[in-house]
């Protein structure tokens, strides 16, 4: 251990650690969980600190050598070289000050090391130099937006697009597979399997549009408001220059918040983003749940599709294979919906000039993006791409479907149709034979009207 000092006195810090006294105090104060900020968030912190140092040096607020060393150290943080130095629990001070301090200390000590023989211990100051022109209160919300925006662009949207493509391909493949429709889990008029999968593809395409729209909110950054939104201790134009530097690095249309008081006191953009993720989770849940129902059986249930067999499904029942990928997706959806609840409640707890639930909101938002991205890829690659239509089973079930009588309504009326359906259900006869026996329509006309493929195309069958 080594002895370090902060404004509260001496602290023992692990000898090899780049972090310092304030971080160590937070390590000791928050032994809450094993949850830590992940790669995306640490990347965002490194990006902010590096761009701030570069601009500070260029504008003359930092000595050139200091600025260069801080930039190099911050780039190491951004690139993942120092992830093991970010040791703090997610459940900490609500502003995330401990984590901003963690970043400041790591960058400062590493920059001092980079300066080498010409430096003295801690010749780069965590607050005066690395945190110049910033506050935890604008850095942490900025990091949340940067990390989430990058994760959406690089991970989630491409994954959803791949899944949509898989569903579209299956929709085309199954365009001629006619099957029973179902509403209320009960038999309904025929559809094609392709129409069902086309509906799933459209759900995901709509989710892509919703998620894309949240990027505009996430691209607006709180940096420049410093402590309470006034920008105290930040030179005029400093934040705009830092944000421009980050925009160039990330190739993203980042911009400074139009109102820094809103950007720091509220986390509405994070709540909005989580809402779009929740809708995506619900869509994925619906699709996954349908897939497992459609594949259920394989002998005693619906079994209109076959899912790829991936692993044994039981420790006691030989040969059993379960819909493991849809079940995984449903659990991911449940987690994302739970994350959204936490984010929603976190967003409600902005008090006066600062929200004090930011670390847990950041963690949950980034976890939701990651889970949806990885699970969507797995659902597409390990399930949807390998789905096969059980054509014979689908045909058998739709031919036994008494609700096809609906196509006869324009010709025999709803009440007679209901009579036919009830008799068919009670006796086991098919609709065709009952209508012919009662003399309501000719045999040829019934056969023409009960064309199940034609029923999937809409309109009145004449």
Domain boundaries, the chain: 2-132, 138-212+260-392, 401-455
Annotation says 301 is catalytic: no
Asked if CATH classification 1.10.3720.10 holds for the domain at 401-455, the reply, yes or no, is no
How many Cβ atoms are within 10 Å of 301's Cβ, its own excluded? 11
Structure tokens at 345: 């409640």
Q: 138-212+260-392 has which CATH code?
A: 1.20.200.10
Could you tell me which residues come within 8 angstroms of residue 104 by beta carbon, excluding any fewer than 6 positions away? 49, 126, 127, 130, 131
Annotation says 184 is catalytic: yes
Tokens 């939104």 correspond to 229
Could you tell me which residues come within 8 angstroms of residue 134 by beta carbon, excluding any fewer than 6 positions away? 48, 52, 100, 223, 226, 234
pLDDT digits (tens, 9 = 90+) for 244-260: 999 999 999 999 999 99
Cα separation, 207 vs 328, whole angstroms: 19
- Choose among 234, 277, 271, 229: nearest CA to 360: 271
Cα separation, 218 vs 270, whole angstroms: 8
Structure tokens at 264: 């720091």
Cα separation, 462 vs 454, whole angstroms: 11
pLDDT digits (tens, 9 = 90+) for 364-420: 999 999 999 999 999 999 999 999 999 999 999 999 999 999 999 999 999 999 999
Q: Which of 95, 125, 145, 184 is catalytic?
A: 184
CATH class of the structural domain 2-132: mainly alpha
Residue 68, pLDDT > 80, answer yes
Work out the angle at residue 162's Cα, subtended by the Cα atoms of residues 161 and 167, and round it to the nearest 5 degrees: 95
pLDDT digits (tens, 9 = 90+) for 430-443: 999 999 999 999 99
Q: Which of 274, 314, 315, 442 is catalytic?
A: 314
Strand extents, DSSP E, 241-343 = 255-256, 305-306
- Choose among 107, 105, 108, 94: nearest CA to 30: 94
Average pLDDT, rounded, for the chain:
96
DSSP string, 141-165: HHHHHHHHHHHIIIIIHHHHHHHHH
């Amino acid at each position: 251990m080594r002895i370090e000092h902060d404004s509260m006195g001496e602290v023992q810090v692990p000898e090899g650690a780049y972090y310092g006294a304030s971080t160590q105090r937070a390590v000791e104060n928050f032994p809450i969980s094993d949850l830590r900020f992940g790669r995306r968030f640490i990347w965002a912190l490194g990006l902010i600190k590096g761009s701030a140092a570069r601009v500070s040096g260029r504008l003359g607020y930092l000595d050139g050598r200091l600025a260069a060393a801080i930039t190099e150290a911050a780039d190491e943080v951004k690139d993942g070289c120092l992830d093991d130095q970010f040791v703090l629990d997610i459940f900490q001070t609500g502003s995330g000050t401990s984590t901003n301090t963690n970043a400041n200390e790591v960058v400062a000590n590493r920059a001092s090391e980079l300066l080498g023989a010409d430096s003295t211990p801690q010749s780069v100051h965590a607050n005066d130099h690395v945190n110049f022109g910033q506050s935890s209160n604008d850095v942490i919300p900025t990091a949340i937006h940067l990390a989430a925006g990058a994760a959406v662009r690089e991970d989630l949207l491409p994954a959803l697009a791949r899944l949509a493509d898989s569903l579209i391909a299956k929709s085309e493949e199954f365009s001629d597979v006619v099957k029973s429709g179902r509403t209320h889990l009960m038999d309904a008029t025929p559809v094609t399997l392709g129409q069902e999968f086309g509906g799933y593809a459209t759900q995901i395409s709509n989710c892509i549009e919703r998620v894309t729209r949240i990027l505009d909110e996430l691209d607006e950054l709180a940096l420049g408001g410093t402590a309470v939104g006034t920008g105290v201790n930040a030179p005029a134009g400093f934040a705009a220059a830092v944000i421009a530097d980050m925009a160039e690095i990330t190739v993203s249309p980042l911009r400074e918040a139009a109102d820094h008081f809103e950007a720091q006191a509220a986390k509405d953009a994070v709540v909005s983003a989580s809402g779009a993720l929740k809708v995506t989770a619900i869509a994925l849940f619906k699709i996954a749940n349908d897939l497992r129902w459609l594949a259920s059986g394989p002998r005693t249930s619906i079994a209109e599709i076959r899912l790829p067999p991936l692993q044994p499904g039981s420790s006691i029942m030989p040969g059993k294979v379960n819909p493991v990928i849809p079940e995984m997706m449903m659990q991911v959806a449940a987690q994302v919906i739970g994350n959204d609840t936490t984010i929603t409640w976190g967003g409600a707890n902005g008090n006066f000039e600062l929200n004090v639930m930011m670390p847990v909101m950041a963690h949950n938002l980034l976890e939701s993006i990651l889970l949806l991205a990885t699970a969507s890829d797995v659902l597409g690659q390990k399930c949807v791409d390998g789905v096969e239509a059980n054509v014979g089973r689908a045909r058998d079930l739709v031919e036994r479907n008494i609700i096809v009588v609906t196509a006869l309504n324009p010709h025999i009326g709803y009440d007679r149709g209901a009579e036919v359906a009830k008799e068919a259900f009670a006796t086991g006869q098919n609709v065709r034979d009952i209508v012919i026996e009662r003399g309501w329509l000719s045999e040829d006309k019934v056969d023409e009207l009960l064309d199940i493929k034609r029923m999937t195309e809409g309109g009145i069958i004449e």
